[in-house]
Structure 1
Amino acid sequence: MSDKSHETTEIIEKHFKIQNLDTQSSASLSENYDPVCETAKLANELGINQKRLKWKVDLYVVPPFCLLYFLAFLDRVNISNANLYGLSTDLELTGTDYNVALTMFFVPYIFFELLGNYTIKYVTPHVWLSGSVFLFGCITIGIAFVKTKFQLYATRFLLGMTESVLFCGVFYVLATYYIQKESLKRFTAFFSTTSLSGAASSSIAYRVNALDGRAGLASWRWLFLVQGIATVACSFVLFFIVSDFPETNRFLSDDERKFIKKKLEYHAGVKSSYDVKNSIWDALKCLKDWMIWLPTLAYFGLVIPSYGYAYFAATIIQDLGYTSVAAQQHSVYPWVCSFCVSNIVAFCSDYTGVRVPFVLGACAIAMTGLSMILGATENPSIRYGGCFLAVSGLFTAMPVLVCWAALNCGSHIRKSVGTSWQIGFGNIGGIIATFIFLTKDAPFYVPGLATSLASLCFAIACSLAYWFMCYRLNKVKKTKAYRDDFNSLSEKEQINLGDRNPDFVYLH
């Protein structure tokens, strides 16, 4: 017997611990059903080495998405670094003009998320996502040559439109590859590129200062130009390496695609809904569900302080007494700390199989950090230390929350709507963030920091409500009345409802 067959036999014996499975009644089989055992049997039938396939998926699926979002976040937040190098002065931005420029990014972002996730299934992810990267790279290059604030507003609006499909689209695709307890490490590896991107943006800005005046361009224009050209170049690479949904992934064999699809069905307890044709009205029906709204509202609460920090951290650090160039350098270190913390927490959460304690714990860390920045007005070292805690807590809580919600959606339509609505509606918080950190409030930014703390409290309350709903529904779905009601629905309705299937267990 081969090692693989021996391993499969051991798994079956371990999980069933019985001898005559084929002679038991269907009811008894249902009681002893174990997805791990079923997956192991399927792997043996198809000749799949599960560990090797998982590494293959990790290699082909996750890194391209990380690169994609690294570029997106880099082009999104570099305006903060550009502002330190004289963007507002050169474009004669006064009052809240700079804040309006930030806001223009989020207006289309909110409205195009849902449409983007509906379309990605039909255009295919590698075309849809790499095309978006190409477009926003071109727009970033265009920002380097704007002459007026209105041109800046227009380019920021277009940047938000082209980037809007990326974040929710990637989470949608990722959610179709991994079971619940495998997912957060991969989601966080993707999401934590925001921390690396924030660090890289400050680091690039630190180096780009040397180009000031070259070819008649100010350093802030060089910042947009360099990053835009790099983004456009990478978009051509992404076209060839970005993965599509498992059912059509060109990097996997037929048996590997079949295995991944069935594995997710076994662990979720529901059929794959990839082939189900849905209308836009089917998508909108999902928005009636509090299981979609609660994580969306929690994410909204996290976005306000997260984008507030991303857009104004360099300015806050400069106000601690650093020069513009030194502030760029010191902005790097909190982002690096955040990257390490978020990935460690992801491994711990996947290992324990729980989510809400890590969301609440990360929020508590963020609140501590923001309180230090707000309260230690006479001690710059404590304020700078608060930056480490704030960014680490915020950018750890966000991927846990988004992954938790995405994998608790049990069908393609609910994953599509759930991820897009959570990111799209949640980014209304980005608009709020751009108007709570005003120049007139420098150097302490009391209104912005106080609003950020309040929004974190709101995020905690919504996360607890979502946890309660998950816990309650897991109990209710065990009742005969619930199962009878669900079985009375049409097959399409049952498939589209996905996680409302009595056999689906919400992770919390």
Structure 2
Amino acid sequence: MGFFAKEKIRHDEEVQDPTQETAPSYTYAQNDGHIEYDDDLHVPCPPHTTERKLVTKIDLHVLPFLCILYLLAFLDRVNISNANIFGLSKELDLERDSRYNNALVIFFVPYILFEIPSNLILKKLRPHVWLSLCMFGFGLVTMLQGFVQNYEGLLTTRFFLGVFETGMFPGCFYLIGMWYRRHEAQRRYTFFFSSTTLAGAFGGLLASAIGKMDGMKGYRGWRWIFILEGVLTVLVSIAFFFLIPDFPEDVKWLTTEERAYVQARLRVDQGRSALERRITFQDVRNVFKDPKIFAGGFMYFGLIVPAYGYAYFSPGIIQSYGYSRIQTQLHSVPPWAAAFVFAMIVAYISDKIRHRFAFTIICISICIVGFGILIAVHDNTKLQYGALFLVAIGAYSAMPIIVCWFNMNLGGHHRRSVGSAWQVAFGNIGGIIAVYAFMQKDAPKYITGYSICIAFVILSGLSCLIYFILVSYQNRKRNKMGADLGLTEHEKTEMGDNSPDYRYLL
């Protein structure tokens, strides 16, 4: 069956009461060294509904709002590249001493430092409070970017943009992971993550329209991009205070029976969440004793470099092919749209066959081919433009698989909240590298930038291989060891995915 063997869990005993405090015991069937598990949870579904209807209800209450939230967050983060096409650098004198690159990189300083604290605050305050508050903050700062008068003002606003956006990505991934079973998660993670590709496409279309407002009320077109997109985010954040979902244990739009069932189905798949327990410093220390945590960080780190390199510099690269400012914005849309479609197809297949590793390698290989063409070809703009499709498709399809694979293999609130934030925080160091990989002096060929991107994509692929080996080894070890080690259910809950009951998705 190879890599594509389906995972199947058989339960020794039927769960008669979905509100019971102990998780069911598991037995694991081997098939060519791979775990298999059954969809039949033996957990009674609440009356007047089915599991499919309940999952659809969850989808409608969770995904749309988080997707819109992150679409606006990513749009407000990278719209500086669209603004730059309309004269940002020229008016604020950013064309000397790498000032434009500095303005990009200062965003990542608070964005990296505050990822883990943000997830801890999210758990304490509840998601709808913390995420909507952060959304209001980065919307306001984006709007203020439209009024800056100098380089120093731009640096200040970019720094605070990083402060308020720090919790968006890991917080949303953490929240999604607490709603879905592992074999359901990839399509949801990818749909959420693809908000970035939709933001890229939407940003190009929006910028091409807003850019025509150049000179209106005395403001240049690039200022209107920041002002209007910032105002939109602020208005949406106010509504989202009432719309962003909390954890399954807290929401009011599920009945008592539905909440109990959702918690039971997640407990069967992932073990108990331990939401009720406060996360301690010892919990954080224990997470970092696990070598898989570091492999997960490098998987994401390697792809952040090409992802941000593309997001920040593709408009400039496309403009170098001879397009006007408006044509450049419009030509930036198709690669993002293609990346969205491809990522969703890959996610659907990945969930169906319940496998992650092979798909990361396939997408990473596509990305490498794209950069290889960009390095080798400099006199064929159609082929170069086509290579940008491969870069966007490869990078933005592999990233959600990597994040979902890693996050959904973390058991319990305390390990997932810390681990997910760590992966994103460490990975975003790559954003700093991406910013300085593409320097104006290297335009239009950008050989150095493309070469750096290939190297980091390969690093991501090797890290995926190491992570695959580690989780495969742990599964085989636990199969031989068995689950009956005299541990109480409380002790297993505290161990999270380190519990002998737990099996990792490959």
TM-score by length of structure 2 reads 0.91
Residues 275 and 18 of structure 1: is their aligned pair in 2 closer, same or farther, counting only changes over 3 Å? closer
Residue deviations 1:368-415 (CA, integer Å, cap 9, x gap):
111112211111111100011100110000000000001000111111
Among 221, 225, 229, the alignment partner of 1:227 is 229
Tell me the SS of whatever aligns to 1:479. helix
| Equivalent position amino acid for 2:505 in 1 | L
Write out aligned runs for 1:442-457 (5 A). Answer: 442-457=443-458
Aligned partners of 1:330, 1:339: CA distance in 2, in Å?
16
Partner of 1:7: none
Deviation at 1:478, TM superposition (A): 2.0
Indicate whether 1:241 and 2:243 are aligned: yes
Residue deviations 1:414-442 (CA, integer Å, cap 9, x gap):
11011100001100000110001000000
Tell me the SS of whatever aligns to 1:241. coil
Among 496, 500, 503, the alignment partner of 2:501 is 503
Partner of 2:104: 102
Partner of 1:279: 280
| Equivalent position amino acid for 1:78 in 2 | N
Deviation at 1:206, TM superposition (A): 0.5
Deviation at 1:108, TM superposition (A): 0.4
| Equivalent position amino acid for 2:175 in 1 | V
Which is worse superposed, 245-254 or 436-445?
245-254
Aligned partners of 1:155, 1:18: CA distance in 2, in Å?
57
More helix by share: 1
Contact 2:305-2:434 at 8 Å conserved across structures? yes
Tell me the SS of whatever aligns to 2:149. coil
Partner of 2:116: 114
Partner of 2:345: 344
Partner of 2:474: 473
Deviation at 1:43, TM superposition (A): 1.5
Contact 1:38-1:266 at 8 Å conserved across structures? no
Deviation at 1:278, TM superposition (A): 2.2
Residue deviations 1:266-310 (CA, integer Å, cap 9, x gap):
122x22311122213322321221121111111000000100000
RMSD: 2.2
Aligned partners of 1:276, 1:122: CA distance in 2, in Å?
10
Residues 440 and 31 of structure 1: is their aligned pair in 2 closer, same or farther, counting only changes over 3 Å? closer
Partner of 1:212: 214
Tell me the SS of whatever aligns to 1:89. helix
Contact 2:105-2:432 at 8 Å conserved across structures? yes
TM-score by length of structure 1 reads 0.91
Tell me the SS of whatever aligns to 2:148. coil
Among 193, 196, 201, the alignment partner of 1:194 is 196
Write out aligned runs for 1:336-485 (5 A). Answer: 336-480=337-481, 484=485
Aligned partners of 2:11, 2:400: CA distance in 1, in Å?
35
Aligned partners of 2:348, 2:13: CA distance in 1, in Å?
33
Tell me the SS of whatever aligns to 1:42. coil
> Structure 2 stretches of 5 or more lacking a match?
1-9, 17-24, 30-35
Share of identical aligned residues, percent? 38
Aligned partners of 1:16, 1:276: CA distance in 2, in Å?
27
Contact 2:82-2:329 at 8 Å conserved across structures? yes
Residue deviations 1:144-164 (CA, integer Å, cap 9, x gap):
000111110111010011000
Deviation at 1:240, TM superposition (A): 1.2
Aligned partners of 2:333, 2:11: CA distance in 1, in Å?
52
Aligned partners of 1:183, 1:30: CA distance in 2, in Å?
21
Write out aligned runs for 1:307-322 (5 A). Answer: 307-322=308-323
Contact 2:201-2:336 at 8 Å conserved across structures? yes
Write out aligned runs for 1:61-80 (5 A). Answer: 61-80=62-81
Partner of 1:250: 252
Residue deviations 1:246-273 (CA, integer Å, cap 9, x gap):
00012211111111111111122x2231
Aligned partners of 1:430, 1:497: CA distance in 2, in Å?
33
Aligned residues: 481
Aligned partners of 1:30, 1:153: CA distance in 2, in Å?
54
> Structure 1 stretches of 5 or more lacking a match?
1-14, 22-28
